Structure 1
Amino acid sequence: MPEYLIYFNQSWVGDHTQEWFRSRVAPSTAVVEEMKQAGVYVFAAGVEENGPIYTADPTQGEEVAVTDGAYVDQPDHLGGFAIVRVDDDEAAKYWAAKVAEGCGWPQEVRRVW
């Protein structure tokens, strides 16, 4: 059964109040629970926005260079993701829509191979 990555960039979230974000906790948590109950859940997580970032780059010499900071400083960065194991693209799109509705911002979905 194929696996799909459902994800969003932090810039897609938009500017909202803390109250609005708190209002998204219950519906987004409910979607995760629904995925678990349906047997499609593999993993889901948000990415720390202000946490440490490291880059591992094998193109800078004979050894892999591991440095502090993003590989490319850009406004778009991964905000969170879920991995689901479902039968087909239609099921993946269904769960992406549920996640988008629960979170309140757009999601992309791609097959993992």
Structure 2
Amino acid sequence: MAQYIIYFNQQWVGDHSEEWFSKRGPLANAVVEEAKDAGVYVFAGGLEEDINKAFSADATSGELVVTDGPFAETKEFLGGLTVVDVADDDAAKVWAGKIAEACGWPQEVRRIG
């Protein structure tokens, strides 16, 4: 078994109505429950959308510096993630597909470690 992170950037979500989003929540929750039932669920969660509430820790100078805001100024930022523990890339692709369909926006997948 291997762990995979399935994630999306907030900018991939797109502009949708409140009604559209309210219909996606139950679909996404159903996929999480399906992953739990299948024994592959490790973690899932959406991130705070206000990037200004982020903070960063950097020790590359030899001294720890903690600052308000994101580490890098960038147009895209992480919106949410799911971690699954599955047999292989093919299984990770299946779960990424389920999540993408439920959420209604693209997902990227990377193996952990």
When normalised by structure 2's length, the TM-score is 0.95
Corresponding pairs, count: 112
Unaligned runs of 5+ in 2: none
Unaligned runs of 5+ in 1: none
| Shift of residue 73, structure 1, vs aligned partner | 1.7
| Structure-to-structure mapping, 1:8-23, within 5 angstroms | 8-23=8-23
Given residue 105 of structure 2, which amino acid in structure 1 is its aligned partner? W
When normalised by structure 1's length, the TM-score is 0.95
Larger mean Cα displacement after TM superposition, 50-59 or 77-86: 50-59
Q: What is the CA–CA distance in structure 2 between the aligned matches of 1:86 and 1:31, rounded to whole Å?
A: 15
| Shift of residue 59, structure 1, vs aligned partner | 2.4
Given residue 26 of structure 1, which amino acid in structure 2 is its aligned partner? P
| Structure-to-structure mapping, 1:31-110, within 5 angstroms | 31-50=31-50, 52-60=53-61, 62-110=62-110
Percent identity between the two aligned chains: 57
Q: What is the CA–CA distance in structure 2 between the aligned matches of 1:6 and 1:27, rounded to whole Å?
A: 16
Runs of 4+ in 1 over 6 A off after TM superposition: none
